[in-house]
Amino acid sequence: MSSQTLAPSGGAPAHTAQARGRVLPFPITGQEIVLIAVIAVLWVALAIGTPAFLTEGSMVPLLVAMAPVALIGIGMTVIIITGGIDVSVASIVMVCAVVVARAMVDSGIGLLLAVLLSVVLGGVLGLINGVLIAYGRVHAIIITFGTANLFKFLALQIFGGTTVDNIPGTLDFFGRGAAGRTLGVPHSFVIMLVIAALAWYYLRHTPGGRHLYAIGGDADAARLAGMKVQRRVMSAYVLTGLLTGLAACFVIARGTSTLAPNVGAGMELAAIAAVVIGGTSIMGGRGSVLGTVLGALLVQTVTSGVTQLGWRSQLSSLFIGIFILIAVGADLLRQRTRRTA
């Protein structure tokens, strides 16, 4: 397989980079620069429109709310790069959250055990998706739509038609309160950034990361080149399950002492929106973790801004939808330009 195919997407091909004296393309793409500029403009506009926006009381909840979406988005980025998708993540959040909440209430488990339980459970559910998709050879959206309903049914059975009440503050370390931040920075946000940095490095600087891009570009060619396509596809869904399990802990921590049966609702759409707005091609073979994190920040900025300005909540969906259409249009235009070239 050519070096151009294996080059990490989101920048120039490997041979172009080498011609400029670099081994890899720039670590930040033009679309990511545009996202940074858009977010900066939005923050300035919101600061003018509502002076409380840039205060700690506003920014901490924004970053805490963004962290689980970005965390799921990191795993979703890896999946979409391989040409797949996972619409079951909201149901996985629901299962992990209710199991952990019940365990904390009934058994009084501690922080580390609660996180371990949630992450392992998320990984198991992700493994179910991965095995069915990688070895069952059925399109990912069909499998994950089916498992989304199965996982949701399981979670509702555990809820038992009622809320989980009197949840202790075991997970406050990830919350928006004083216990959830150091020097004013939320722990959940810092953990998300660390995981994002590791994922960025893996995709950009390791053979395994380049293989994921190659699989998304042409799975058959990747298989003929000797890559273990099924194993890597399965691992992408397991990774997403693990990250979704951790995100469920963040979701519990940012709420109250009560967990409702609608926990996690809409998180799959928010994560996919962050990934697409961040520049990952829905067709596979192209994308970046940095773009996803910026996309999640943009999505949460829009949501928080609409709320603070006192506008109707439906407007946030309108604005996010517009950003998605612009991102998809830019991706299609890029692909057409490359085919023409």
pLDDT digits (tens, 9 = 90+) for 62-97: 999 999 999 999 999 999 999 999 999 999 999 999
In this prediction, residue 309 carries a pLDDT of 87
Query: For 155-159, 163-167, 181-185, 329-333, which range has the lowest pLDDT when averaged over its residues?
Result: 329-333
pLDDT above 80: residue 20: no
Question: Can you tell me the mean pLDDT for 149-161?
Answer: 94
**Residues, the chain:** 341
In this prediction, residue 315 carries a pLDDT of 87
To the nearest whole percent, how much of the chain has pLDDT over 70?
92
Chain center to CA of 262: 19
Tokens 């920014």 appear where? Answer: 59
Question: Can you tell me the mean pLDDT for 177-200?
Answer: 94
In 3D, which of 246, 257, 261 has the Cα closest to residue 114? 246
Segment (H or E) for 185: strand 185-186
pLDDT above 50: residue 21: no
Confidence of residue 177 (pLDDT cuts 50, 70, 90): confident
pLDDT above 80: residue 303: yes
pLDDT above 60: residue 31: yes
Chain center to CA of 1: 29
Whole-angstrom Cα distance, residue 77 to residue 269? 13
Q: Taking the model in full, what pTM does it have?
A: 0.89
Whole-angstrom Cα distance, residue 43 to residue 36? 11
In this prediction, residue 341 carries a pLDDT of 67
In this prediction, residue 82 carries a pLDDT of 95
Whole-angstrom Cα distance, residue 316 to residue 307? 9
To the nearest whole percent, how much of the chain has pLDDT over 90?
65
Chain center to CA of 259: 22
In this prediction, residue 25 carries a pLDDT of 52
Question: Can you tell me the mean pLDDT for 150-162?
Answer: 94
On average, the pLDDT of the chain sits at 88
- The tokens of 76 are what? 């979703």
Question: Can you tell me the mean pLDDT for 233-253?
Answer: 96
pLDDT above 80: residue 24: no
Segment (H or E) for 181: strand 181-182
pLDDT above 50: residue 23: no
In this prediction, residue 106 carries a pLDDT of 92
Whole-angstrom Cα distance, residue 113 to residue 103? 10
